[in-house]
Structure 1
């Protein structure tokens, strides 16, 4: 792929690098002042050492070459200093290495928690955006290491900057032309590293959708259930071939960029080496002409080498920062993501102790980036304490309706009223606190059973009585009590003493988590899809027995479970097709009655 960029784009990228560096330094200073000050002090010491060392050596040589005027005490002290200049830098480097490792550990923890915390606050609607996922995937693969590395390189450049300043003063005072030749000769190496870094980033950015597919395929090999099915269906070969093809295509592009980089890098090194050689020859000729002492020659040549090394180190670190900055920009894009669900300026708190009256008033909805209406002119009311069942074929809009109730999305038309107030006017956190939602694609957690259930209210201390009550309500208590460690049982065989519950057991644990939350409005999407018939009957009997101030919204394809609901809403093509109690809808003899009879027929025996 092409890595050529216009001058404007290069300048824009450099300005972006400076902006990112400033932002990182501000973050690091605010959270790690002590470590920053220690690093600065050590950097100063390390920067001074090469010049002090070559200066002492130069004085020693000049004194020895002037044997008639030199004093023994001067030679002794200079010799002691020369030896000290060998030991002191080693001690400084050793201590700085320890500080750098300590600092890196702190930085990794800080940036990792920062990223995870931000991701936890991002709206679910944003998480479902493919373009956002491309950026997130690029970042997720590399983690926070580009930010850690960029921070490290910023601080590594401090000694380089100081060395460049000191060496510049020395060489410029000796010969301005000599300084200019050495300084300009290093620039080609910067250009090579900058172009290479841009090329690698370009590949990662352009291939993001493909690499997201790679990670999706790869994750199947990490999931025991997926791998079992792949083996039984003999499809592992297909997955391996697909992963191999993605790898090969992606890596081939990287190798092309790397091949170009090596060629130009070698050329840049020859230019730099030639300039340094020219500088050394110039100084030697000055000694031969009698203009410069031998010790001074050693000091100047040492300064040339230090300037070249410091400039090269500075520019290489800048190039690495430039490359890391491209990925860091993605991280800042994530950190700067604004909520797509606007918060009310004067939010109204919602009580979680009693269920409110909820009115869907002419609600319509289309997913972002699409024109197709998933819901069209939906109107119905959920009375406090009512048991409402949502029925309809797949794609009818049942789950989307729940997402609107949870404010994962806002309606594109109409409004949702809670006790007469627009849902958008409510305090979102307190509204979510009043809800307990269990989607069909529920999560399972690898922790102790009691902890997994108590996640329903993780903002409160774990209440074992409440844990047991929730487990009873979901029919999970029966198998939990049979486990060796009971509610202390570890979930997940990869942990010592852990077990892998069955799918039905996992769903009961998920339902227990929702019940533990004890919300004002409980929303259950196919809560017993993996549960046996006997347990299902007991679960729904307990749900029916919930206090009258608790509203239950149930999505189910099993008509035997919805018939006891106070109200049944039949969705069809995103519209309210039928609405009423079981008896009312059966009397109407419409879609619900037809589907109920069809399902009942399958249970009837001849």
Structure 2
């Protein structure tokens, strides 16, 4: 009963959505359930009466025909009324399902958008996200529809058992005794089914991931070149067989238990039928009465079987609702504690214009569920208008440092300030307005060229003049102006028959998006990593124009690019190893010179 009580609490969480957009559907479903609940009882009585009147008519042609005709008309009217309710209920259910699907997926997208980037380093978060994706509304509506069916079968039982009590009171007691083991068994199986689903989430995610590799244009090239198809197919097959095998094991167990319970209940109700027909207190005097009673017994059997199944499946299905809200309310304890402490100390409401400097003061950071520090006691300053290069080997902490500055990773030790104001105090919106960024793995949206640039500042989405100006600065206008539909041309062929761009052209699109935002601070994360030497040289030549009048921070592992900066910050193992100009660092004969000469060696 605790499980069923938890199920009711989970279903109650849907009530705000029903009050908002599903009142009519709920009312029609309730009427339909009540009507369908009474229908077996009424139908058994009507058909029993019809059989009796037909027998009288065949025995005596002068009586019974009109009664049969009236009963048939009544049966047809009841059927039409049932169809009418079902028709309206189906329409409003479909409408509510669309509304609910929209609201729940919108809620999920909001949660993902608002979640700290550090959550995406936690497998549990990914597993939960994977479980709550898909046809959300149907998973929410199934337990409610099952509740309506439970209500329907309860109405059937009350009406039918009431009739059977008039035959003999013992039937009601025996029926309830049969229901208890059925319910307990179904609840246990339902819990096992959900636990299997819960534990399979990682394997299911890998199955989906491998399947996506075979449908992704970028990955299919490596699959062919490295001859990975057999290996990946075998790996997919192993995971698939493990998951399907666990499901089939439960299914077999369910079928055998259902068979045993069904056999037992059938024998039980067969015995009741014999008692009614041949017992000393039997009140059966006509064939129609016999039909009515046997139909009532079958209705009781069917309703008890359905109730036991529905009670168990409701627990299983409402666990999805519970899982959904656990995902929506998900919060890493360490992050939540740090964020709450920071908010209590200085709520993020301050507005900063950035007039002076950005300062990193003893900043340290470690990833969730990791003991290793990605950043260790990092301290340096960036003056307004400076162009700063952050260099270092892979894993030295360059990108992590920038993500902390962008507010994507929470700072738990040390502080970052803008004009003396702690990042904890700066409102997220203000921080986003101050900075624009071009990541190494920037997004290539399968939308129009206009969309790909305008997404840099959605508030100015319709300002085509500013958009074209950003495109001209970045070099995008040179190729987009030749497209058939200009800036309205789709990029890529995922959603439409659009234009395919080269790596260099996509990089320019990313720069245009950053320029369209027109922020005080521009951050470039390995901006030329995917470019050929010509495209890379073109970007370097345009660097001054692209970053003019902006404080610029760019990350690079190419030492030649660092020469464009006013100062260079050298990262090593999460720490600041050196800071200075190119010439100063060369003369210092330290880490920077070693990396610079190591790369220069390849060009001699």
Q: TM-score, normalised by structure 1?
A: 0.88
More off after superposition, 382-391 vs 273-282? 273-282
- C-alpha contact 1:287 1:293 (8 A) present in aligned 2: no
Aligned ranges 1:181-580 → 2 under 5 Å: 181-285=174-278, 289-290=282-283, 298-338=291-331, 340=335, 342=339, 344=343, 346-351=347-352, 354=354, 357-545=357-545, 550-580=550-580
Compute the displacement of 1:71 (Å).
Answer: 9.0
CA offset digits 1:91-115 (Å, max 9, x no partner):
4445444444444344333333332
- Name the structure 2 match of 1:160: 153
Compute the displacement of 1:310 (Å).
Answer: 2.8
Question: How far apart are the structure 1 equivalents of 2:222 and 2:55?
Answer: 84
- C-alpha contact 1:540 1:561 (8 A) present in aligned 2: yes
Compute the displacement of 1:26 (Å).
Answer: 3.9
More off after superposition, 155-164 vs 256-265? 155-164
- C-alpha contact 2:360 2:417 (8 A) present in aligned 1: yes
Question: How far apart are the structure 2 equivalents of 1:229 and 1:546?
Answer: 35
Question: How far apart are the structure 1 equivalents of 2:229 and 2:355?
Answer: 50
Gaps of 5+ in 1: 1-10
More off after superposition, 161-170 vs 74-83? 74-83
More off after superposition, 415-424 vs 299-308? 299-308
- Name the structure 2 match of 1:602: 602
Secondary structure at the aligned position of 2:14 is classed as helix
Compute the displacement of 1:294 (Å).
Answer: 5.8
Q: TM-score, normalised by structure 2?
A: 0.89
Secondary structure at the aligned position of 2:13 is classed as helix
Question: How far apart are the structure 2 equivalents of 1:233 and 1:165?
Answer: 68
Is 2:118 aligned against 1:128?
no
Structure 1 pair 580–426 and aligned structure 2 pair: CA distance change class (3 A): same
Question: How far apart are the structure 2 equivalents of 1:473 and 1:13?
Answer: 63
More off after superposition, 357-366 vs 320-329? 320-329
Structure 1 pair 355–179 and aligned structure 2 pair: CA distance change class (3 A): farther
Question: How far apart are the structure 1 equivalents of 2:124 and 2:24?
Answer: 39
More off after superposition, 62-71 vs 154-163? 62-71
Compute the displacement of 1:400 (Å).
Answer: 0.9
Structure 1 pair 260–142 and aligned structure 2 pair: CA distance change class (3 A): farther
Aligned counterpart for 1:45 among listed residues 31, 35, 55: 35
- C-alpha contact 2:52 2:287 (8 A) present in aligned 1: yes
Question: How far apart are the structure 1 equivalents of 2:196 and 2:255?
Answer: 18
Secondary structure at the aligned position of 1:394 is classed as coil
More off after superposition, 479-488 vs 363-372? 479-488
Question: How far apart are the structure 2 equivalents of 1:467 and 1:414?
Answer: 39
Question: How far apart are the structure 2 equivalents of 1:209 and 1:86?
Answer: 48
CA offset digits 1:256-303 (Å, max 9, x no partner):
222222111100111221232233333334698457666555544443
Structure 1 pair 356–134 and aligned structure 2 pair: CA distance change class (3 A): farther
CA offset digits 1:360-383 (Å, max 9, x no partner):
111112222222222111111122
Secondary structure at the aligned position of 2:408 is classed as coil
- C-alpha contact 2:526 2:556 (8 A) present in aligned 1: yes
More off after superposition, 224-233 vs 290-299? 290-299
Question: How far apart are the structure 2 equivalents of 1:97 and 1:279?
Answer: 38
Secondary structure at the aligned position of 1:222 is classed as coil
Compute the displacement of 1:328 (Å).
Answer: 2.9
CA offset digits 1:520-560 (Å, max 9, x no partner):
22211011222344443443454434677532110012223
Structure 1 pair 489–328 and aligned structure 2 pair: CA distance change class (3 A): same
Compute the displacement of 1:130 (Å).
Answer: 1.4
Structure 1 pair 491–151 and aligned structure 2 pair: CA distance change class (3 A): farther
Compute the displacement of 1:414 (Å).
Answer: 1.3
CA offset digits 1:125-149 (Å, max 9, x no partner):
1121012222223334675643343
Compute the displacement of 1:334 (Å).
Answer: 0.7
- C-alpha contact 2:121 2:367 (8 A) present in aligned 1: no
CA offset digits 1:336-355 (Å, max 9, x no partner):
1137362635432435x656
Question: How far apart are the structure 1 equivalents of 2:438 and 2:590?
Answer: 29
- C-alpha contact 1:196 1:258 (8 A) present in aligned 2: no
More off after superposition, 371-380 vs 51-60? 51-60
Secondary structure at the aligned position of 1:108 is classed as helix
Compute the displacement of 1:166 (Å).
Answer: 2.8
CA offset digits 1:222-279 (Å, max 9, x no partner):
1112101210121211111111111122222222222222111100111221232233
Question: How far apart are the structure 1 equivalents of 2:287 and 2:450?
Answer: 79
Secondary structure at the aligned position of 2:522 is classed as strand
Question: How far apart are the structure 2 equivalents of 1:322 and 1:538?
Answer: 62
Structure 1 pair 497–213 and aligned structure 2 pair: CA distance change class (3 A): closer
Structure 1 pair 362–477 and aligned structure 2 pair: CA distance change class (3 A): same
Aligned counterpart for 1:17 among listed residues 7, 11, 14: 7
Question: How far apart are the structure 1 equivalents of 2:219 and 2:136?
Answer: 25
Structure 1 pair 112–411 and aligned structure 2 pair: CA distance change class (3 A): closer
What is the aligned length? 593
Gaps of 5+ in 2: none
Compute the displacement of 1:178 (Å).
Answer: 0.6
More off after superposition, 140-149 vs 434-443? 140-149
Compute the displacement of 1:49 (Å).
Answer: 2.7
More off after superposition, 23-32 vs 516-525? 23-32
More off after superposition, 466-475 vs 552-561? 466-475
RMSD: 3.1
Question: How far apart are the structure 2 equivalents of 1:159 and 1:200?
Answer: 25
Is 2:18 aligned against 1:28?
yes
Secondary structure at the aligned position of 1:424 is classed as coil
